[in-house]
Chains A and B, each alone.
Chain A
């Protein structure tokens, strides 16, 4: 690992001020640090945001659950409030990585990184989340731009993620047997007005599957999506799963999610 300067910011303002074109915000460091160790990323400055108190914590209102960006996965999975309001979100957090990762990794870090196989982006899409940054509020549907790409501008810091509480929801994933990242993860959420079927792992970026959302909005039963033959042309292919297999898994996991709702 190359040498770098370590900064610990006391608030968002300071963190933002320290940011430059050769810096990165450091939350749990579960992706940043291994990338630096492997020489895949080098930064001159790492700006630690874990000590910014305002960024940690969970607030539940009648309509939404708001989670601070530096809140660890383990805090989300253990939170009684989250379990009560959106149980699927708690179980999603419980299934990320391993205990070490869950004890350090944060929700803001996961979303800002936007790994195509990460779990949290699908929750954001399915639960109509609003991403609160130090500058603005961004709808989840406009936040995830592409592989490892988000709407965040340089120096813009996620402060919290606000999830809309659905009527019912479930997250089901087919994990990569080695890394246990999602080969395909499907987050189904039934809201009052409609149904979201957010898919991670299958394409270069998380997305809302319109075909299944529509079918389930009409009839919220797994039979309404049984036999749907998804277009696999934009799906990922790697040594663990072909595009064709992923397309099939998306439907299977969506059905499982609906049944589990």
Chain B
């Protein structure tokens, strides 16, 4: 039987998606359901003096209006930060309360203060407009860089500082810098982004008064985690009385990890009114209240010798958490960021210091790449600048500082099990025709255009997160994953996974893996996820972990099935279990022609004696049935890596940046389905290039979101991109049985510095902040013209 792993199996999910048969949360309509509209703060920072619902209650069709008072009276808990971070001085991080409905204070535009529940959506909207809230508007804090100097947003949180965290050794770094021939320094901003999943958030909550059970259908990347948080911290219902279903979900990118206010409020309210409640975000609500991403202000320095060896690195970052610390809000700018700060280089001394601040803006949390794009942007911009200042070719300088042997023990945290960074660089250069660039630059110049080339070599720590490593860092919980593999008596297989698919194609790739492990045709394998009533538990999908953690749990459960199958076969065929081999779906007694198919074994496990010669094929100690479970806790992170090269052409008259060529050469370890991986790379690149050239979430000084619609927030479109030139090198991960590493975030991590390095190269080294919009680039071109004129 040919192996399915590694082949371009067509996506099983496409039939329903491409024929409009997907079932998203907004498609779910329950009998007698009501509709919720949230009344949200129009102010970035205010105290609530008075909230009057009398007029709204009289509005037609209103079923109930609930406010922060009722939710507090019912002792429903607020939203939480999932990871505890300790400051350099040993103090615990400081997190404000974040009630699902604000009672006393609002802290960003969009913070909900009440929910209006009515018989129809139109009536709910009409009534919501009649809720009168008397706010005392306070001065908002919106700037990341100045947040520590602003008014105190949350009582008791001095300087708006959640924590002041250090990873690394300041003294060693000082010593390294003292020895340096040259120090390269850079000030950069990692711009704030809005995830913009195609499907806006939504939830439908139902209550069954007889079973006292709440069912919440919601747009979540991790339904089990949502249930856990809502039970353990939200006090919404005990876990066995709360079912969370995340059906088809149209993209998450991290924005749907969080349990949101609306999930908690609708679940709680459904029980209160004893009716189902439906809420679907409008796009403007998504812009305002989905978590945002990135938003760092960084000063970084690299100590180098004159011949280009890196000696030391420091990174001083202010990370904006927004108004509240959310689930991955505190770990994203620390443990997902700091350990990756030194990139793919041997740098003997390094530290990263992060001050995480609160502002009156939407909460910032994990967004595709989460911490690793910010880390990569810093080191790769710095290395590019070093190459300019040292006059060493940008690829040579990188190669000079790559590790030569694996495992590669980094200075800060990670031990990278495998990789070949030089091979990746060489292949990328060849794919991009790096040598031919100078000729192309001259051609552009002849047309009056500026051409630049940019390089990034990146690695990322994926497959989050091994418990042992996480615990040793002193933060939060380990993130294993579970899988359950069930055979039907007639031989089809259902795989329950705790990973959630919202675009990742698990239904196909996981089935490919199980098909190869079990020798069962792929059409006889179903992948089930997204429902806490099915499957034991799951940590969910983020951090490129589905395959490297969830996929391995499936492999391990399959291996247990095979082991049991061997025992059963041995009993059936009167052989020693040690003599039974398993290959392509058949259990074969070695040195004989005796064998059983896995289907026959499954049937025998459920219905012993019906088709078989034996009364019971089950060996002593084995129970009937064929079902195995695995909880897989990885021994280490996985470390995808690669080199990307971009070429841009700039029109100095208009500042227009045209991305001419983009080459991505990635090492994702073993690839399960090349077509799916290409899709992931394309999507990641679109988001990464979007950050570099187009996207920017901008607040004005009063905390109003200026880019609150597609009229002003530039989502990249297909015509913004060239044909992507994609290739791979492959070193298998040594820490998991499939040798896989993960691919979901690579594009978003590598593309911003790659594109910006190219833009800045074209601009003769002049710094431009992301996104490199026409006006910024036009101004830089004017400056370049002036300085060139002076030089001449």
Name A's B-contacting residues (CB within 8 A): 174, 176-179, 239-242, 245, 248-249, 252
Contacts and interface: CB of A to CB of B under 8 A. Distances in A.
A239 B698 contact: yes
Interface residues of B, number: 19
Contacts of B18: none
B773 interface: yes
Given A174-B654, A177-B694, A249-B654, A240 B773 contact: yes
B135 interface: no
A241 B774 contact: yes
A239 B698 CA distance: 9
Given A177-B773, A239-B698, A252-B654, A245 B778 contact: yes
18 contacts: A174-B654, A177-B714, A178-B694, A178-B707, A178-B711, A178-B714, A178-B715, A179-B710, A179-B711, A239-B698, A239-B706, A240-B712, A241-B774, A245-B774, A245-B779, A248-B653, A249-B654, A252-B653
Interface string B696-725: 001000000011001111110000000000
Contact of A248 (B714, B773, B778): B778
Nearest to A37: B282
Contacts of B773: 177, 240
Contact of B774 (A174, A178, A179): A174
Contacts of A179: 710-712
A179 B710 CA distance: 6
Contacts of A174: 654, 656, 774
Interface string B765-792: 0000000011100110000000000000
B757 to A, nearest CB: 21
Contacts of A239: 698, 706-707, 712
A177 B774 contact: yes
Nearest to B706: A239
Nearest to A248: B778
A178 B710 contact: yes
A176 B715 CA distance: 12
Nearest to B712: A178
A199 B458 CA distance: 46
Contacts of A248: 653, 778
B299 to A, nearest CB: 26
A125 to B, nearest CB: 22
A108 B656 CA distance: 32
B191 to A, nearest CB: 13
Interface in B113-132: none
A54 B654 CA distance: 42
Contacts of B715: 178
B697 to A, nearest CB: 11
Contacts of A240: 712, 773, 775
Nearest to B126: A2
B710 to A, nearest CB: 6
B194 to A, nearest CB: 12
Nearest to B715: A178
Contacts of B779: 245
Contacts of B713: 178
B784 to A, nearest CB: 15
Contacts of A176: 711
Given A174-B774, A177-B714, A252-B654, 13 more contacts: A176-B711, A178-B710, A178-B712, A178-B714, A179-B712, A239-B698, A239-B707, A239-B712, A240-B773, A240-B775, A241-B774, A245-B774, A245-B779
B271 to A, nearest CB: 32
A179 B655 CA distance: 18
B256 to A, nearest CB: 24
Contacts of A178: 694, 707, 710-715
Nearest to A249: B654
Contacts of B654: 174, 249, 252
Interface string B636-661: 00000000000000000111100000
Interface string B600-615: 0000000000000000
A255 B656 CA distance: 16
Contacts of B656: 174
A240 B775 CA distance: 8
A242 B775 contact: yes
Contacts of A252: 653-654
Contacts of B694: 177-178
B701 to A, nearest CB: 13
B466 to A, nearest CB: 41
A100 to B, nearest CB: 13
A235 to B, nearest CB: 13
Contacts of B653: 248, 252
Contacts of B711: 176, 178-179
A252 B655 CA distance: 11
Contacts of A249: 654
A162 B234 CA distance: 66
B266 to A, nearest CB: 24
A236 to B, nearest CB: 13
A248 B651 CA distance: 13
A33 B614 CA distance: 74
Contacts of B707: 178, 239
Contacts of B710: 178-179
B712 A241 contact: no
A249 B781 CA distance: 14
A220 to B, nearest CB: 20
Contacts of B778: 245, 248
A176 B774 CA distance: 10
Nearest to A242: B775
Interface in B161-191: none
Centre residue among A177, A179, A245, A249 by max chain B CB count within 10 A: A177
